[in-house]
Structure 1
Amino acid sequence: MLNSKRAMNWVQRKIYLYNVTFGLYMLDWWEHYLFSILIFVLLWFIYHNSSRCVSEFFKR
Structure 2
Amino acid sequence: MNWISRKMHLYNVTMGLYMLDWWERCLFNVLMLTSLWFICYNGSRFATEFYEGGHLKYKLLVDGRFPNGGSIPPS
Whether 1:57 and 2:41 are equivalent positions in the alignment is: no
Provide the secondary structure at the position in 2 that maps to 1:19.
Answer: helix
How far residue 16 of structure 1 moved from its aligned partner, in angstroms, is: 1.5
What TM-score does the superposition give when structure 1 sets the normalisation length? Answer: 0.77
- Amino acid across the alignment from 1:31: E
The counterpart of 1:45, out of the listed 21, 38, 43, is 38
Dislocated runs of 4+, deviation >6 Å? none
Query: 1:22 offset after TM fit, Å?
Result: 1.1
Instruction: Give me the identity figure in percent.
Output: 54
Which is greater in Rg? 2
Under a length normalisation based on structure 2, what TM-score does the superposition of the two structures give?
Answer: 0.63
Gaps of 5+ in 1: 1-7
Bigger relative CO (Cα 8 Å, ≥ 6 apart):
1
5+ unaligned residues in a row in structure 2: which ranges? 54-75
Map of 1:22 onto structure 2: 15
Across the aligned residues of Structure 1 and Structure 2, the Cα RMSD in angstroms comes to 1.2
Q: How many residues align?
A: 52
Looking at secondary structure, tell me which structure has more helix per residue: 1
Deviations 1:28-52 (Å, cap 9, x if unpaired)? 0000000000000010000001000
